[in-house]
Amino acid sequence: MTSRNLVVPEISFEDVTYIRNLIRVRSGMVLEPEKNYLLQSRLKPFAKQEGFGSMADLVSQLRQTSYGPLHKRVVEAMTINETSFFRDLVPFQILKDRLLPEVIQANVDIKRLHIWCGASSSGQEPYSILLTILHHFPELASWDIRVIATDISQQMIKRGQEGRYGSFEVNRGLSPPLLNTYFSRHGMEWQIRDDVRSMIEFREMNLAGSWLGLPRMDLVFMRNVMVYFDMETRKDILRRIRGILASHGYLILGATETTLAVDDHFERVPVNGTSVYRVKKG
Ligand SMILES: C[S@@+](CC[C@H](N)C(=O)[O-])C[C@H]1O[C@@H](n2cnc3c(N)ncnc32)[C@H](O)[C@@H]1O
């Protein structure tokens, strides 16, 4: 990588390097040089919002103090939170037609289902999972169902907890029957019903940090986040997922993500033209 690649207007090469390191060390995310536009487009308004005269002033403050809330907010400001209800559709069809029937069968005696959505952004993904369960598996009403949704971004977790979405967001992926059954309208926004909202445990959690308090999982959704991590972080996350995934459980990754060449202990299970993963036996 040449220093030219790291050039961001209004901020020195050393400051860019500092920010890239901060993000990598604290979140595992690698900010590729071609994503330097993000530094400019996110950091500049962030610096202004935090009361700094320039990005350089912000970085100077960060460099003078040890890691604290301001550093954390910078890392959060650099996350990419793109998401939508039923994103890519096929994983949710597989969830309904194959994964849920299998894990329900495996847990029929204990009547318990644990699902983790490890990079839940503003909540559309965990709500899509929960709506799939509520809408298609009414027989699970008496089961102990836990859907745990975590993300590094406090702001995204707050949005998920609120469960309030604009018409653009609900029109991206939500069918009219689901919208009408599980949401109520508030002016230009739609909010998920309170009883549904309260079924998801939203928590702030850094995948590159401690995972304390996660129970054994039947399904782990880790979609469209591994792609931002370096190889070491990906390996570490997959190793830790193996530690909490039930033997009958499945890992669901994003369309461009895979365990292949990252963790040999997972096997790929092809379904409907895509793949899910489970831990190899033995
Ligand atoms: C592109 S979104 C994907 C959202 C959702 N999984 C989907 O596929 O639609 C990536 C999310 O990962 C979160 N993220 C990035 N680094 C993280 C980390 N180290 N720990 C937890 N979440 C992280 C970001 O805050 C962001 O909300």
Report which protein residue has its CA nearest ligand 1's atom 7. 83
Residue with tokens 């983790």: 116
Q: Which domain holds residue 24?
A: 3-77
- Please tell me whether residues 218 and 251 are part of one structural domain: yes
Atom of ligand 1 lying closest to residue 84 CA: 9
**Which of the 8 DSSP states describes residue 174?**
-
Domain boundary among 77, 110, 142: 77
Report which protein residue has its CA nearest ligand 1's atom 12. 119
How far away, in angstroms, is 11 Cα from ligand 1 center? 26
Name the burial class of residue 172, with classes exposed (0-12), middle (13-18) and buried (19+) by CB atoms within 10 angstroms of its CB: middle
**pLDDT of the chain, 282 residues: tens digit per residue:** 444 445 567 889 899 999 999 999 999 999 988 878 888 899 999 999 999 999 999 999 999 999 999 999 999 999 999 999 999 999 999 999 999 999 999 999 999 999 999 999 999 999 999 999 999 999 999 999 999 999 999 999 999 999 999 999 999 999 999 999 999 999 999 999 999 999 999 999 999 999 999 999 999 999 999 999 999 999 999 999 999 999 999 999 999 999 999 999 999 999 999 999 999 987
Q: How far is residue 249's CA from residue 129's CA, in Å, rounded to a whole number?
A: 15
How far away, in angstroms, is 142 Cα from ligand 1 center? 31
* Ligand 1 cavity residues, CB under 6 Å: 27-29, 79-83, 87, 119, 121, 125, 151-153, 156, 206-208, 223-225, 228, 254
| Run of H or E residues at 196 | helix 194-197
- Please tell me whether residues 26 and 135 are part of one structural domain: no
pLDDT tens for 186-233 read 999 999 999 999 999 999 999 999 999 999 999 999 999 999 999 999
The answer to ipTM > 0.90 is yes
70 dihedral zone (left: phi>0; alpha: psi -120 to 50; beta): alpha
Q: Look at residue 266 and tell me if it is in a domain.
A: yes
Q: Look at residue 82 and tell me if it is in a domain.
A: no
Q: Look at residue 83 and tell me if it is in a domain.
A: no
pLDDT tens for 23-58 read 999 999 999 888 788 888 999 999 999 999 999 999
Residue with tokens 């850094």: 206
How far away, in angstroms, is 238 Cα from ligand 1 center? 15
Domain boundary among 55, 77, 99: 77
Split into its structural domains, the chain has a count of 2
Q: How far is residue 129's CA from residue 137's CA, in Å, rounded to a whole number?
A: 12
- Please tell me whether residues 36 and 141 are part of one structural domain: no
